[in-house]
């Protein structure tokens, strides 16, 4: 059985006080016997402050990105050892906003996945097609290329989490229909099986992301190959995020 995972990506939101306030609300509202793992990914500047609030709770600290080199003359970068030192357990890698706004390609995403694994972090590697690619019928081709670039010959692949985030659904209010998301998740699992073996594919958690809200979460999370959610805007409100967490059923 795969333990579902729900992660809130706070993106470039919430300074020190607001981040601590949201973290406290989540700690107070979380159930002790959760049917899933939960994580939050604040901005780099408040990781330590949020970590202190989360201490002793079941909520994992996550980072939004990392550099592919552990340390060195890389101004503005953050390496895996520094994130581990702060208590991070997961790191988001290859989010479409990183690909779109920061020029990250499949090669860079692979390097970051390797850096995360090397440093002791579990990478949440994002894949997904744009609206144009979907309309051209290229969705599965694009996602297959992205997944293969990540998993082929990867050491530590069993610690990898994949998040399918159709780019056209991120921050737009649009969301993939549960059956369409399930079809892509099943395809991703088949790709992983071809490159890493069926047992690893069966155990790998594949999350859905893209305008996940309390209203659509139950339908998505009922699908057999959707193992949780990577939540954006809805994770900035404690009530909404907790509702999504509670939509997970064992």
- Residues with catalytic annotation? 95, 165
Query: How buried is 6 (Cβ within 10 angstroms: 0-12 exposed, 13-18 middle, 19+ buried)?
Result: buried
C-alpha to C-alpha distance for 214 and 51, rounded to whole angstroms:
26
Helix 178-196 and helix 139-151, axial crossing angle in degrees, nearest 10: 40
Alpha helices, DSSP H only, in the chain?
16-29, 47-54, 80-85, 96-102, 106-119, 131-135, 139-151, 178-196, 198-203, 217-221, 238-246
User: CA triplet 247, 248, 250: central angle to 5 degrees?
Assistant: 140
Q: Note whether 164 and 127 are within 8 A (CB).
A: yes
Cα(202)–Cα(126) distance, integer angstroms: 18
């Amino acid at each position: 059985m795969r333990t579902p995972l729900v992660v809130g990506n706070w993106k470039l939101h919430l300074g020190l006080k607001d981040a601590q306030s949201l973290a406290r609300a989540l700690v107070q509202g979380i159930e002790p016997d959760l049917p899933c793992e939960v994580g939050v990914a604040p901005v780099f500047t408040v990781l330590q402050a949020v970590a202190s609030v989360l201490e002793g709770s079941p909520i994992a600290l996550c980072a939004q990105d990392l550099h592919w080199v552990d340390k060195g003359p890389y101004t503005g970068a953050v390496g895996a050892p520094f994130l581990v030192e702060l208590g991070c357990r997961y790191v988001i890698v290859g989010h479409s906003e990183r690909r779109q706004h920061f020029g990250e390609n499949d090669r860079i995403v692979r390097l970051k996945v390797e850096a995360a694994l090397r440093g002791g972090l579990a990478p949440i590697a994002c894949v997904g097609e744009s609206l144009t690619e979907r309309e051209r019928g290229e969705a599965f081709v694009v996602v297959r290329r992205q997944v293969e670039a990540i998993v082929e010959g990867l050491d530590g692949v069993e610690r990898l989490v994949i998040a399918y985030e159709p780019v056209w659904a991120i921050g737009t209010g649009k969301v993939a229909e549960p059956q369409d998301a399930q079809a892509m998740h099943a395809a991703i699992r088949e790709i992983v099986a071809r490159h890493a073996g069926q047992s690893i594919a069966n155990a790998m958690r594949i999350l859905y992301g893209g305008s996940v809200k309390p209203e659509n979460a139950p339908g998505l999370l009922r699908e057999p190959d959707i193992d949780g959610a990577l939540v954006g805007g809805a994770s900035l409100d404690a009530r909404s995020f907790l509702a999504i967490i509670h939509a997970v059923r064992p």
